[in-house]
Amino acid sequence: MSGAAKFKNKVKISERHGGGEWLAERVLLTALLPLGLWVASTGFTLAGAAYDAVLDWFAKPLNAVLLSVTAVLLFGYLSLAWKVILEDYVPQIGARKALTGLVNLVFFVLAAASLFFIVRLALGSAPLPAGIGA
């Protein structure tokens, strides 16, 4: 993560671990395709559904687990995707690193919030803000 490029056997280290990122993108995308179909069917089921019906859906462990997995994989994939996009279009190193960090922070917050909401809904917790400072 330091500024100067590190070399090993006269090959940039970044050129050695880039393949890992590429593979991570491919694995995540492959996993997200069937999950995407499941999200489409879920969206169809839950569109305009009443509150109780939606909570019944979240009470099923399989649904809550699949949705959590989807959220984590999707935000992880988007984080890698934004890294590639920023590398392509933002030539200034400082601005690129700042934007990459900002994007990662936003996705981390969104993923954490998603998991927090999903877990509460799956456990049938009392509506927020119950349990937080009250």
Beta bridge partners of 111: none
Q: What DSSP string runs through 64-106?
A: HHHHHHHHHHHHHHHHHHHHHHHHHH---HHHHHHHHHHHHHH
- Closest contact distance (angstroms) between CB of 83 and other proteins is 11
In the list 51, 61, 91, 133, the residue contacting other proteins (rule: CB under 8 A) is 51
Q: What backbone torsions phi and psi does residue 7 show, to the nearest 5 degrees?
A: -120, 150
102 binds other proteins per the rule CB under 8 A: no
Report the nearest approach of other proteins to the CB of residue 134 (Å).
Answer: 13
Q: How many residues bind other proteins (CB under 8 A)?
A: 37
Instruction: Measure the CA–CA gap between 75 and 112, rounded to whole angstroms.
Output: 10
| Residues pairing with 12 in the sheet | 7
Please identify, using beta-carbon distances, which residue of 95 and 113 lies nearer to other proteins: 113
Q: Does 55 bind other proteins (CB under 8 A)?
A: yes
Does residue 61 interact with other proteins by CB under 8 A? no
Give the separation between CA 8 and CA 134, rounded to whole angstroms: 56
Using the rule CB under 8 A, is 32 a contact of other proteins?
Answer: yes
114 touches other proteins by CB under 8 A: yes
The minimum distance between CB 16 and other proteins, in angstroms, equals 20
